[in-house]
Structure 1
Amino acid sequence: MQRTDWDHLTAPVRAAIEHRTSTVRAARTAEAGKNSAIAILLSTTDGPIFVKGLRTDDPRVASQEREAAVSTYVSPLSPELLWQTEVDGWNLLGFQGAPGRHADYAPGSPDLPKVVDTMQRLALLWCPDLPQLKRAERRWAAYVEPADLSLLRGDTLLHTDYSPDNVLIDGDAARLVDWAWPTLGAGFIDPSCLIVRLVFAGHTPEQAEACVSPAPAWTSAPTRAVDVFASALARMWAQIAAADPNPWKNGMAKAALAWEAHRRARLRMTESSES
């Protein structure tokens, strides 16, 4: 998505932001991320503020409503949402600026245990069934047989979009940002979503599964439930790539297919050994 820089915002928008942030000393448009038309890190007299925004007539503005709704419940692991406003055709969110760099998902990266630790901590947070939240069994219904949808059901709060751009590493801590797709569902879903990202980053499916193995939600998950969801992710990413075949979407589709193939091969080996 094309970004709008601070200097190209209208005077009413800049004034509304400064009313909530204090005087802006400097502004830098973020390079990472793909879904916000405004993504600006502001240096203000009261400290750093990150502002993201979408036009109010953009269908994706619902993702910002989800992010705002869940912000109170994820504050232990994510930058604090300070304000939300609509002005001059923009829906804007203002977050406390957070230090750190984007996570490195390469094999052997020291960031990986930090990401999995934050994922485990997220699984312990409580969040009510807010109307803005997705439910896993409904969100992935198009990719799962109706009889298997109950395998995705649960009350664990899930991030589901573990792009390295959505994880900030600061020392020993990993913070989650961009809560566009918060979902309530089975706890193994977040580790599964991360696995596909890790395969995309160069891990084998076996290595990726080993990375998430410290997560109790992963180790306790029924094998069939994981197999079903692996197939759902493969179908979902294939559809996404077919609709918009850019390199990273094609890469994610291949990664999801590789993980699904790994799960299917393991199932065949198990069935063969039992016969």
Structure 2
Amino acid sequence: MTARLAPAPPTRAVPQARSARLPWTALPPAARAEVERLLGSSVTWSRTQSGGFSRGVATRLRCADGTRAFVKAVPRHGDPYAVALYEREAAVAAQLPAALPAPAFRGTVDTGDWLALVFDAAAGRTPPVPWRERDLRLVLGALVRLTELAASCPVPAAKPWGGTLADWRGWNHLLGDREGLGGVEGLDGLAPWARRHVDRLARLEESFPQAARGDTLLHSDLRSDNILVAGSTVRFVDWAWAARGQDWIDPMIFALCAAVQGLADPQGLFLAHPAGRAADPRAVDSVLAALAGSFVNASRQPADWDTGAIREFQRAEAAATCRWLAARTGWE
């Protein structure tokens, strides 16, 4: 692998995917009892997990009979987006083949007030960021194997990656803002490179649906906090965004996420994966452009106490994607 992990520039902090998770005891007694019934034993120990951005319960459990599990749960009232995401993850997790490097799914608990997903516990640590060369090599090897196993999508519930173009016309939305405001004001806050090339980026993202279309099962969210490393074993967790698409999309997302969190050369990491080397460069540029436009638009939305960390991460994603696109396209 030619990619090298360089320290993040001193002026650019490495963002963390961290949230204020709720503990096991935040689940109502009736929901906890249902989880124990599903596991077949009473819970004697719990440890809250902090990775990711959701605000629900995320905890490792140990039971009286030695069973170990992981439970994530959200209240059904107050956050319909999170509930929909958990329902989507449950549908996918129930269909994941056992051969995939993912924790086994035990089932769901739905009390009407809370929705919980129960998995076998997966041993391991999340790779620290900035990324280290050893971890990059290890996860890349596991991702190559995952891509091979996930060819000819084995999950009927997986939808096409990215949905429709209407969901991804970020640069075109920015152009519309500019026209509606009668000038460049709609582009305020954009990095100089993006401001200079917004028209070209808008044209590039237009071919996104065709560029992404494929039949490989994709994880789609390969941040460090969705990866567990135990010795030489790697498992990919949190399949809420699983979809079907081109086999090079997961390697691209992995490289991009690593770039957000300290990797200096996402292109080198991308090309270290066989699917990355075989990918149509124009298609990759189109998908990167669509991602960049989406990140830019999302990062410009108002932030509050609950979304501040997400907005920070989205700004970092937008900047990293634009830097990678600038290097790939050669646009000044």
> TM-score with structure 1 length normalisation?
0.87
| Aligned-partner Cα distance in 1 for 2:57–2:131 | 32
What is the match of residue 127 of structure 1?
Answer: 153
Aligned to 1:209: 267
C-alpha distance in structure 1 between counterparts of 2:207 and 2:245, whole Å: 16
Match for 1:212: what amino acid?
F
1:260 alignment partner in structure 2: 325
Q: Secondary structure at 2:96's aligned position in 1?
A: helix
Q: Which residue pairs with 2:75 in the alignment?
A: 55
One-letter amino acid of the counterpart of residue 211, structure 1:
L
Structure 1 distance, partners of 2:317, 2:211, is: 23
Equivalent in the alignment of 1:93 = 117
CA gap 1:25/1:129 in 2 versus in 1, 3 angstroms = closer
Deviates more, 1:95-104 or 1:82-91: 82-91
State the secondary structure of the residue aligned to 2:288: helix
Among 50, 56, 61, the alignment partner of 1:37 is 56
Per the alignment, do residues 137 and 237 of structure 1 end up closer, same or farther by CA in structure 2, a change over 3 Å counting?
A: closer
Q: Is the 8 A contact 2:207 2:286 kept in 1?
A: no
Residue 191 of structure 1, CA deviation: 1.4
Report what 2:312 is aligned to.
Answer: 247
Taking the aligned partners of 1:34 and 1:234, their CA distance within structure 2 comes to 20
Structural RMSD (CA): 2.2
Amino acid at match of 2:115: N
Letter in 2 for 1:54: V
1:107 is displaced (CA, Å) by 5.0
Q: Secondary structure at the match of 2:300?
A: helix
Gaps of 5+ in 2: 1-18, 170-203
Shift of 1:224: 0.4
Aligned match for 1:7, one of 25, 28, 41 = 25
Bigger relative CO (Cα 8 Å, ≥ 6 apart)? 2
What CA distance in whole angstroms lies between the structure 2 residues aligned with 1:168 and 1:178? 11
Change (3 A) 1:100 1:170: same
Alignment pair present for 1:154 and 2:214? yes
Q: Secondary structure at the match of 2:123?
A: coil
Residue identity in the other structure for 2:289: S
SS at match of 1:101: coil
CA gap of 1:28–1:236, structure 2 versus 1, over 3 A, is same
Contact 2:153 2:217 in 1 (8 A): yes
Displacement of 1:226 in angstroms is: 0.9
Give the AA of the match of 1:30. Q
Deviations 1:181-230 (A, max 9, x none): 011111111111112212112222xx222223232211100110111111
8 Å CA contact 1:104–1:112 kept in 2: the answer is no
Query: In 1, Cα distance between the equivalents of 2:110 and 2:75?
Result: 9
Indicate the residue corresponding to 1:220 in structure 2. 278
Relative distance call for 1:237 and 1:121 in structure 2 (3 A) is: same
> How many Å separate the matches in 1 of 2:54 and 2:165?
21
Q: CA deviation at 1:105?
A: 4.9
**Corresponding residue for residue 194 of structure 1:** 254
One-letter code of the match for 1:9? Answer: L
